[in-house]
Copies of this chain bind each other. A is one copy, B any other.
Amino acid sequence: MRLRAKLLGLESGGKSVVILNKDDAEDMGVLALGRVRVGLGGRELTAIVNTTTALIGSGSIGICEEVRRALGASEGDELEVEPTPPPRSLHSIRNKLRGRKLAYGELLEIVRDVVEGNLSDIEIAAFVTALHAFGLDLDEATGLSMAMVATGNTLDLDRPLIVDKHSIGGVPGDKTTLLVVPIIAACGLTIPKSSSRAITSAAGTADRAEALMPVDLGIEEMRGVVERTNGCIVWGGSLHLAPADDLFIRVEHPLSIDPLLLPSIMSKKKAVGAKLLVVDIPCGRGAKVKTIGEADLLANDFMELGGRLGIQVRCAVTYGEQPIGYAIGPALEAREALGALMGRSAPPDLLDKAVDIAGILLDMAGRGDGRALALEALRSGRAEEKMREIIEAQGGDPEVGPEDIAIGDRRFEIRSERAGYVLWIDNASMAELARLAGCPRDKGAGILLHKKVGDRVEEGEPLFTIYAERGPKLQQAVEALEGMRAIGVGERMEMLIHEVRERALARRAVPLDR
């Protein structure tokens, strides 16, 4: 069937989408979300069909920007449109929906079609939901990891030993990576660290690092930095290591499920050539993983999958019931991390965690007493020096001091209404307040804690300060304080946690920041 192109002037998220009049679609026997081959001149592609009864008349075909670009089509061009079967990968998705185990070849077809925009949102959502509901075994996790590597860039460094660290995330203020990377690089190991930006949290490692230096590097620039300094801290988004991940996350987020956690993380480590890896699993109330038992099971999964992928993995199950250090928000955290590297005010929990994790990596690399080496790298100033090398190599100012990093000048201090001990700090509330104040977009927004769990506090003493760059954002955060239970102060834990009066709405959030 020959149809006249009507340019929609809209992008459809990398997918090739066309809109047909319902009459034309019926005439071709194509249903909504079916496929057509669309051709113009020598070019052709397969597009996903939407149908309409209005707006696109019979004889016309609405095409999104992706299709316009691929075909080089102009308004009114006559396109050749023919029904075509769905991609083979859809049959594999349907098989997974029946609980069948998928082989590597099938997973590769699915992941490739996700990356190339050949599957509809409905089909991707069903695949992700089926993985969640039926689970994926070790073979499938391995296959998915390899498929995600095969459909993205890889970093081929000519180094004997490449190491990496990863945190599954979920704890506000966790700037540990900003310390671990320079410690490890200063000790002579190669650590090409790629990090993510915040999705639902106040700051991702890429956001924190960006307060110190450019992080938006291409893969060749990344290679240059690592070859010069042994390390880097860059944003993963422009590297296209396992690009399928972002496309899966887009679907997983509204559903609050995360069946691809392991393949997603491990594929990126495989893509940079890591041989040794430490995975930080923060654990406890308010963390992603609530119990030590659960954390150990997840650790086993990481280690087994690592074994299949040729990556030796150890896990650090860490205390995750309150923010790490005192600062939350990109700039505030960058200040705190830089201060810690410089031997100024280092919060003991941040210092411990960084030295523990770096120590495990150094142990794994056979460098003897890893923790002692890590502490020595930090104490001696070698880690700071290395960080400044990395900052310079990535295009930042190597002389930067903590006070050079701009933070928000709109502030609101929250004081304790009673005396006692800080009994708990709610991670989710802290992340929410920081986001309302402007994080992660406003780098200077965030929260500075004045007290942590176990600290003595007097009535009227400051508990924390909210920072914002813009007045309305500060106001938004301050308004949200009302009725929020962010920090608990008392002489001892109260017995009644909460009362349920009517049908409770179970809101279990799954933070997808990995």
CB–CB B129/A125 < 8 A: yes
Q: Is A345 an interface residue (CB 8 A)?
A: no
Q: Give the chain B neighbours of A52 by CB distance below 8 A.
A: 10-11
Binary per-residue interface labels of chain A (82-100) against chain B in the complex, 1 for a CB within 8 Å, 0 otherwise:
0000101011011101111
- Which of A247-255, A409-417, A482-490 lies on the face that meets chain B? A247-255
Question: Which of B19, B99, B133 sits near A97, CB closer than 8 Å?
Answer: B133
Min distance, Cβ A456 to any Cβ of chain B, angstroms: 35
CB–CB B122/A441 < 8 A: no
Binary per-residue interface labels of chain A (104-147) against chain B in the complex, 1 for a CB within 8 Å, 0 otherwise:
01000000000000001111111011101110000000000000
Nearest B residue (CB) for A8: B10
Min distance, Cβ A81 to any Cβ of chain B, angstroms: 14
Q: Is A157 an interface residue (CB 8 A)?
A: no
Complex Cα distance A86/B8, Å?
Answer: 28
Q: Is A419 an interface residue (CB 8 A)?
A: no
Complex Cα distance A274/B199, Å?
Answer: 51
Q: Is A499 an interface residue (CB 8 A)?
A: no
Complex Cα distance A103/B504, Å?
Answer: 12
Complex Cα distance A376/B55, Å?
Answer: 53
Binary per-residue interface labels of chain A (1-24) against chain B in the complex, 1 for a CB within 8 Å, 0 otherwise:
000000011110100000100000
Complex Cα distance A54/B65, Å?
Answer: 10
Q: Is A33 an interface residue (CB 8 A)?
A: yes
Binary per-residue interface labels of chain A (499-514) against chain B in the complex, 1 for a CB within 8 Å, 0 otherwise:
0000101111000000
CB–CB B27/A19 < 8 A: no
Q: Is A380 an interface residue (CB 8 A)?
A: no
Complex Cα distance A508/B133, Å?
Answer: 20
A441 touching B26 in the complex, CB below 8 Å, given contacts A11-B55, A52-B11, A254-B120: yes
Nearest B residue (CB) for A250: B32
Q: Is A331 an interface residue (CB 8 A)?
A: no
Q: Is A375 an interface residue (CB 8 A)?
A: no
A97 touching B132 in the complex, CB below 8 Å, given contacts A27-B441, A29-B436: yes
Interface residues on A, range: 35 or more
Complex Cα distance A33/B124, Å?
Answer: 14
Q: Give the chain B neighbours of A162 by CB distance below 8 A.
A: none
A505 touching B33 in the complex, CB below 8 Å, given contacts A97-B129, A129-B97: no
CB–CB B125/A126 < 8 A: yes
Min distance, Cβ A486 to any Cβ of chain B, angstroms: 18
Can you give 30 contacting A-B residue pairs, CB < 8 Å?
A: A8-B10, A10-B10, A10-B52, A11-B53, A11-B55, A13-B32, A27-B441, A29-B436, A31-B199, A33-B250, A33-B254, A34-B254, A88-B505, A91-B505, A94-B255, A94-B256, A95-B506, A97-B133, A97-B255, A97-B257, A98-B508, A99-B133, A100-B506, A120-B254, A121-B121, A126-B255, A126-B257, A129-B129, A129-B133, A133-B134
Name A's B-contacting residues (CB within 8 A).
8-11, 13, 19, 26-27, 29, 31-34, 50, 52-55, 62, 65, 86, 88, 90-91, 93-95, 97-100, 103, 105, 120-126, 128-130, 132-134, 199-200, 250-251, 253-257, 435-436, 441, 503, 505-508
